[in-house]
Structure 1
């Protein structure tokens, strides 16, 4: 009798049970082993076959061996992922740039040493064209309508006043030009008035007022030599920066403003400009000395670089590469005035301090 509480009640066998459940097959006979344990005859057959040295009658499905992995590819020679070095190239048409530069230089030197007033006219033309380029780009890219007419008239008056009346005349003309910009813009709707007149006053100061110092350099007895010194030092500074930066430049000077400029190029600009400055002050400027030329060259290299960066900042804000297309290989007039404009007052001030304004 099974005393386990989980034991099931016996079910009586008989016709009634068979009718209810159905006919049953005979249960497998239980065969006790040597230790008295009971197991069915299938396990007995399996064990007997195993003891007899044969395979068991009930076997497991054999495990499938994994598929052999494909052989590794043959080793290849390492390849350099970097592209082959390419020769540096200038970003502009060098022949056109040289041709235009030589032509402009011929016009400037001819006007300087023949009739001074003709060179003043050259400055006026450059100022008016530069103002047209600047105001056109501001309107195209930013919708800023800086009034061109008062700027052009006032800019020409500034240059002439600076040549005739000196710094005092230039300041008076600048103030009147700013006032003319404010009044001229009142003829249009008031929307964006502050933005337009602010851009107009900035343009009046940036282009014609700074260019007035070139005309003021010309008023001295050795005025043509002073203008040549100013132009030569600025060009030599730009050339030194380009040559040294193109050959040895690795460290970016201002990558967010002008990615092409390097610190090595700046050192080249300083070295070239200081050497040229010492020669110019010694042989071109009356009463000048070579050590003054070193200081002048250093100041020109710094101001020319800052002027170039300032122009690059404006063009990046406008989303353009050049201010114009008037000069093949150079861009526009403003693209050539970028380093000249801020350098003019620096040269005028230092020459006035070294040798006077007469």
Structure 2
């Protein structure tokens, strides 16, 4: 190693000393030249700036490509880790549509067939729906809230109310309702008094909510064109629900009552009103004796409102109970009460408007 590399002083006054050692002998050695000669600096190999990337790769060879980056502080590029956005998903219904359609068609065939063949058979279908609905309601109340509404007097009294409405119309329905409520009060006395008030209150509520409202369907049937009145009532309610579902599923963006039923939208309500009014005009014009299209528009509007309120009302009950459906008897629909929710409150509305527009028949 040359001493100049350590920063030794240089210049004309430089002399070798004994301590530093004598220069080697020989004619080829020039002391003055040795004093003036400086070592060449060690320059690291760097890539030529004037060469392109391909020339540099060729010079470095395969080893550079295998060993990694050329410089120590150079980091290899990592692939982009930003996830791609998921593909847009198609809107899907919350239930099994095939099962729902199949069950709906089967129930419709049963109801319409019994309605136009033998009226008494249709009354039996209504009684069966009422008893099953009461069973579902009282079972959910007991499971979720510990409320023991007595089922036996409710079922017997509910069936009697529907039959009394068909045989004696409104007078028979009111008397049967009063007797059923009294039977609930007495039946519950056979058990301990704890919870008596809440049990009988729930029982009386069930009497009004299910069998009493269903009695108006039986009273519609007593008219001369009773079968067509009941068919109009059923069609308007079903069309209202279908219009709300179809329009709300396709165009719904504004929630109607998010704290009660998050799936319902204002657009769906407009769909229910439009579909029901058109169906009402057609039914009153072609199915009901003495009816006119403008009366059908009013009935359709009223049914859309009552069906929506009925649906929201049962949604409130189910939210309070912490359940999604009242039962599981009907695949794609839930329970019987999940189908009666819009029918029950619409029955007295249609019965009253038909009586006002065309009489009791």
Deviations 1:49-74 (A, max 9, x none): xxxxxxxxxxxxxxxxxxxxx99x99
In structure 1, distance between residues paired with 2:91 and 2:155: 40
Q: How does 1:305-344 map to 2 (within 5 A)?
A: 305-344=308-347
Q: Does 1:155 align with 2:158?
A: yes
Q: Residue in 2 aligned with 1:240?
A: 243
| 1:151, distance to aligned residue in structure 2 (A) | 0.1
Structure 2 residue corresponding to 1:85, chosen from 70, 85, 88: 88
Structure-2 residue corresponding to 1:170: 173
Q: How does 1:53-202 map to 2 (within 5 A)?
A: 84-202=87-205
Show structure 1 runs of 5+ residues with no match: 1-69
CA distance in 2, matches of 1:218, 1:82: 58
Counterpart among 277, 280, 289 of residue 277 in structure 1: 280
Q: How large is the Cα RMSD of the aligned pairs?
A: 1.9
User: How many residue pairs were aligned?
Assistant: 289
Q: CA deviation at 1:86?
A: 1.6
Q: Cα 1:230–1:79, aligned 2, differ >3 Å: closer, same or farther?
A: farther
Alignment partners' CA distance in 2, 1:159 and 1:110: 19
Provide the rounded CA distance (Å) in 2 between the counterparts of 1:180 and 1:208: 14
Question: Structure 2 unaligned runs (5+)?
Answer: 1-72
Instruction: Please say which of residues 76-85 and 107-116 is displaced more in the overlay.
Output: 76-85
Following TM superposition, by how much is the alpha carbon of 1:85 offset from its aligned partner in structure 2, in angstroms?
A: 3.0
SS of the residue corresponding to residue 260 of structure 1 reads strand
Instruction: Name whichever of 193-202 and 78-87 sits farther off.
Output: 78-87
1:263-322: CA deviation from partner (whole Å, max 9, x where unpaired): 000000000000000000000000000000000000000000000000111011101111
Q: Structure 1's 222 and 318: CA in aligned 2 closer, same or farther, altered over 3 A? A: same
Map Cα deviations across residues 60-101 of structure 1 (whole Å, 9 max, x no partner).
xxxxxxxxxx99x99x99979975432111111111111111
> Residue in 1 aligned with 2:10?
none
TM value normalised by structure 1: 0.78
In the TM superposition, what is the alpha-carbon distance from 1:200 to its structure 2 partner? 0.2
Give per-residue Cα distances to partners, 1:325-355, cap 9 Å, x unaligned: 1011111000000000000000000000000
SS in 2 for 1:107: helix
Q: Which runs of 4+ in 1 moved over 2 A?
A: 76-85
Give the alignment's TM-score, normalised by structure 2: 0.77
SS at match of 1:350: helix
Query: Where does residue 11 of structure 1 map in the other structure?
Result: none
1-structure distance, mates of 2:345, 2:198: 24
Say which SS state the counterpart of residue 333 (structure 2) adopts: coil
What is the aligned partner in structure 2 of residue 300 from structure 1? 303
